[in-house]
Amino acid sequence: MSDLTKLTLKTALQGLESKSFSAVELTQAHVAAVESAKALNAFVLETPDKALDMARASDARRARGEAGALDGAPLGIKDLFCTEGVRSTACSRILGDFKPTYESTVTANLWRDGAVMLGKLNMDEFAMGSSNESSAFGPVINPWRGQGDDTPRTPGGSSGGSAAAVAAELCLGATATDTGGSIRQPAAFTGTVGIKPTYGRCSRWGVVAFASSLDQAGPIARNVEDAAILLKSMAGHDAKDSTSLDVEVPDFASFVGKSVKGLRIGIPKEYRADGMPPEIEKLWEQGVAWLKAAGCEIVEVSLPHTKYALPAYYIVAPAEASSNLARYDGMRYGLRVDGANLTETYEQTRAQGFGEEVKRRILIGSYVLSAGYYDAYYLKALKVRRRISDDFDQAFEKVDALLTPTAPSAAFTLGENADDPVAMYLNDIFTVTVNLAGLPGMSVPAGVDANGLPLGLQLIGRPLDEGTLFSLGGVIEEAAQFKTRPQRWW
Amino acid sequence: MAIDVATVRKVAKLARIAEPEARLESLVQELNGILTWIELLEEVDTDGVEPMTSVVHQGLPMREDVVTEGGDPAKVLANAPKTAKDFFVVPKVVE
């Protein structure tokens, strides 16, 4: 494959600016990479013609001196984002051949800045999953393999297509979303950088809803600075999302490389989960040592309600999902399976349109919201959510950011957790608290395990303090010197 | 609060998802596995704790009650399974 796909987003933008190559050349190289990587199943829809049209328009803009911040950069878009005239399915059969007549705000922001769309990326159905195996299009295969072992592994989920495409150098960056860890866990499993910004940073308008109080968009990128460049374009206030924050979007990239001397970093003691693999524990200690060497002060903190976060999440998220997914009734868009009467039409449409994990979550959500159980489950979970959020508020009185592992393991093999929903849910044990509290969280690749598979460290910040995360992420990246790329087998 | 086949059948009805009888028994087990785990929350003292419905510390924004967009039935109907003129066609709702 051409060297143009090996560039980072930043160096590609510099190359375009210095006229070393054109947006069309850069896009052609990526279109070819996408075409030759079908074995990964990362893309569920390739849009090469649209990509080349957008690249030609970009070259014309640059020639006129009107290039935007991302002009000519080929990106992949998670299939959860509605893209005007381009099939958007959330990787569910129930959306069928849905072609939105509108563009999500986040993707519109990227096109405003000149980015090029290569296609739509695979994901767990409606973003419900941690392994990409719930996708109606079949799982994504992680470009990373264990040493001397060609067993297919998951790239994580739900943004598995985004993470795999970035790791395999099919695109310069990708959009993703994170409801309980869906940006950070796939980033950790693929040796890429992923950031879930503060809830409200990125507009949710035009992003297919899963759990509205938790869903947040963010980028997956090759490195910390690329993630910062992408987030700047994606973020911003949007009147069409009532929870969108009307605050200034800083130049996130300017934080990368800033000194972190004197910052206080919290190590939450409750994250030392029983049975944590020694390699993850070691990596965490290594991260502490790197930040200490950069002049940070390390402080042990307590987040006493941590172990209740996943159970609370598995009430709140399915409850919101069961309400949000009520819209798939077969009447206005997507699949319709005709039954003998209206109720049967609904029931058959939803039975055939939704996959097993989505149905399970809708049933859980319907149950915890049903008469007689609302207080015991749903209201209780919302109160526990407040406790979890209060834990963070107290910790942030003492520290500026927190450092934890991103996931409890490296990428597991496909099918490994398929029979046990709770085992699968435990993947999000370190990430889900951040969604419940609405905080920014970033995963940075920090090393590999004995099997040669990437591992990530997570940084958690105060609301709207992504800047500090980019500074700290930059330090870890620099110290870790994580340069390994998956060996090409696809 | 373990659930049984009758409860799963009722919840599936509420959720408008046709679950075949043969699937109900395994769903009972899956859902009970999740619900038992969730019951860990009972340990947490939440007396006097205000339920947290949103992480955004701002009131809902208000705007003028005016039409901002619309008037484009072709766009609205573009993905409909069945249409007639400018309408969605749906199964008979009132017997």
User: Considering only CB atoms, which chain A residues are within 8 Å of B70?
Assistant: none
Distance from CA of A228 to the nearest CA of B (A): 23
Residue A233 in any domain: the answer is yes
Q: What are the strands of the beta sheet with A441-448, ordered from one edge?
A: A43-46, A116-121, A74-78, A173-178, A216-221, A193-196, A441-448, A454-461, A401-405, A264-268, A297-301
Give the pLDDT mean for A201-218: 98
Q: Which of A22, A92, A182, A443 is catalytic?
A: A182
A56: in domain: yes
The burial class, CB within 10 Å (0-12 / 13-18 / 19+), for B91 is: middle
Is the residue at B13 inside a domain?
A: yes
Of A336, A363, A386, the CB nearest to B81: A336
Give the pLDDT mean for A4-23: 98
Q: Is a pLDDT exceeding 70 seen at residue A276?
A: yes
Q: Does A25 touch chain B (CB under 8 A)?
A: no
**Tens of pLDDT along A372-387?**
999 999 999 999 999 9
Instruction: Let me know if residue A105 belongs to a domain.
Output: yes
Instruction: Give B51 to chain A, closest Cα distance, Å.
Output: 4
Q: What domain count does chain B have?
A: 1
CA A267 distance to own-chain centroid: 23
User: Which residue range(s) make up the domain with A201?
Assistant: 3-262
Residues of A in contact with B94 (CB under 8 A): none
Phi–psi pair at B20, nearest 5 degrees: -60, 145
User: Token pair of A246, please?
Assistant: 């009307």
Residue B66 lies in a domain: no
Residue B26: domain span: 5-42
CB–CB of B18 and A362 under 8 A? no
Say whether residue A347 is in contact with chain B using an 8 A CB cutoff.
Answer: yes
**Catalytic residue selected from A22, A135, A158, A409:** A158
On whether residue B95 sits in a domain, the answer given is: no
pLDDT per position as a tens digit, B23-56:
999 999 999 999 999 999 999 999 999 999 889 8
Sign of CA dihedral A85, A89, A93, A95: negative
CA-nearest residue to A238 within chain B is B61
Residue from A167, A47, A209 nearest A116 by CA: A47
- Work out the minimum CA distance from A479 to partner chain B, whole angstroms: 34
Of A307, A354, A422, the CB nearest to B17: A354
B contact test, residue of A328, A384, A422, A462 with most B CBs within 10 A: A384
Nearest CA in chain B to A375: B51
Inform me whether the pLDDT recorded for A1 exceeds 50.
Answer: no
Do B80 and A307 make contact, defined as CB atoms within 8 angstroms?
A: no
pLDDT of residue A253: 98
**Mean local confidence (pLDDT), A140-168:** 97
Does residue A2 have a pLDDT over 70? no
pLDDT, averaged across chain A? 96
Is residue B64 in a domain?
no
Do B41 and A315 lie within an 8 Å CB cutoff?
Answer: yes
Asked if residue B36 is part of any domain, the answer here is yes
Q: What is the CATH number of the domain that holds A103?
A: 3.90.1300.10
Residue A246, pLDDT > 60, answer yes
Q: Do B91 and A341 touch (CB under 8 A)?
A: yes
Task: Among B38, B58, B92, pick the best mutation site for testing chain A contact (most A Cβ within 10 A).
Answer: B38
- Write phi, then psi, for A300 (nearest 5 degrees): -80, 135
* A57 part of a folded domain: yes
The single residue of A10, A58, A78, A162 carrying the catalytic annotation is: A78
Q: How many CB atoms lie within 10 A of CB B1?
A: 14
pLDDT, position B1:
59
Instruction: Say what percent of chain B tops pLDDT 90.
Output: 79
Q: What percent of chain A has pLDDT over 90?
A: 95
Helices A356-369 & B5-14 angle (0-180, nearest 10): 90
**B15 closest CA partner among A126, A329, A373:** A329
Contact B16 A336 (CB under 8 A): no
Domain count, chain A: 1
Q: Per the confidence metrics, is the pTM higher than 0.90?
A: yes
